[in-house]
Chain A
């Protein structure tokens, strides 16, 4: 079972470590999905379901530390993850609009793939949109590393007053 590791908590509480488990049930209980997908393009629909997962993970992270409104969520999106950052941000806005987290910004950190040709001893970036894993110079297979990231990195939230008073009850 994978777990979400909360490394540090900055803010009013002292830094600490604790592990919270990501639970799909938590996301369902939150009733994510106010923006029901209708006649959207396939690509945007894909990003919408990714945005829903990000929202669930973000809410679960907040739930592990009290309660409050999301302010900012930072995600890493790899070049080979089949997720388009702009569409992801649009989907996030559609998903959160009209709800308690409407003001939450989604920040995307783009992670390019590294492609190395051993024969040429050089990095060989692909032309945009190309997935060819062959060296454009010599035709040898490229060693591809990274670029498949699709991770929630950081969640910033504004704790509710009540949550602040309960501080320290977790961890």
Chain B
């Protein structure tokens, strides 16, 4: 005879426990942690490279790179002079908190002020997995089209910051910036929107100022 067990558990309970522990670790260390999410090629790693350059000597940075295959993105960050570790998901479309925990333990980073977690290029799956970050950052390059926030509302409504990238390409593509701002205002009324170009440096200063302000706010709240 069959037995019936009433289970009342979140499907992602194991991930959420791991994320909560990570969040505690990051809080204790006084570090700001960002989870960067976008479709492949939106310019996540390039933005990080520009950020490292702009913040050189001001903040201690570290990176965790999630990809299905290759160490390429971690190599790019190391080439910029910051400690970085690559998580190879071997097919999985997102990072989960247990992988991040393992990566942190293995990497034994020197003390850092800001940790960037670059998720696997994907606008859907990473959205559901908390990595213990302070907030999610969604990136949208102008070449991807101006209908994306409404087409991928889960990520754009959960990201505290949306970075529009590759603004230098605006003259070459039809991308209605005002329309995108309107969609984002609807999905994430309290979210910040930045327009950047890693190529021309547009908006990079504003982005770095945001990082410094959020880090200062976190440390102030923690004392």
A4 at the interface (CB under 8 A from B): yes
Given contacts A5-B7, A53-B11, 13 further A-B contacts (CB under 8 A): A2-B17, A6-B5, A46-B124, A49-B93, A56-B14, A82-B154, A131-B150, A131-B157, A154-B6, A157-B2, A157-B5, A158-B3, A159-B2
Chain A interface residue count: which class?
A: 35 or more
Binding site for A on B (CB under 8 A): 1-18, 91-94, 98, 122, 124-125, 127-128, 150, 153-154, 157, 186-187, 189
Interface of B is mostly: mixed
Question: Given known contacts A134-B186, A154-B5, is B94 in contact with A43 (CB within 8 Å)?
Answer: no
Binding site for B on A (CB under 8 A): 1-2, 4-13, 22-24, 27, 36-38, 42-43, 45-46, 49-50, 53-54, 56-58, 61-62, 64-66, 68, 71, 75, 80-83, 130-134, 141, 150-159
Point out the residue from A22, A38, A49 that lies within 8 Å of B9, measured CB to CB.
A22
Sort A-B residue pairs by CB-CB distance and give the 5 closest, nearest first. Answer: A131-B153, A11-B3, A46-B125, A7-B6, A4-B9
Closest chain A CB from B109 CB (angstroms): 23
Measured CB to CB, the closest approach of chain A to B13, in angstroms, equals: 5
List of A residues within 8 angstroms of B15 by Cβ = 53
Name the residue in B1, B7, B12 with the highest tally of chain A Cβ atoms < 10 Å from its Cβ.
B7
Query: Which residues of the other chain, A, contact B4 by a CB distance below 8 angstroms?
Result: 9-11, 154-156
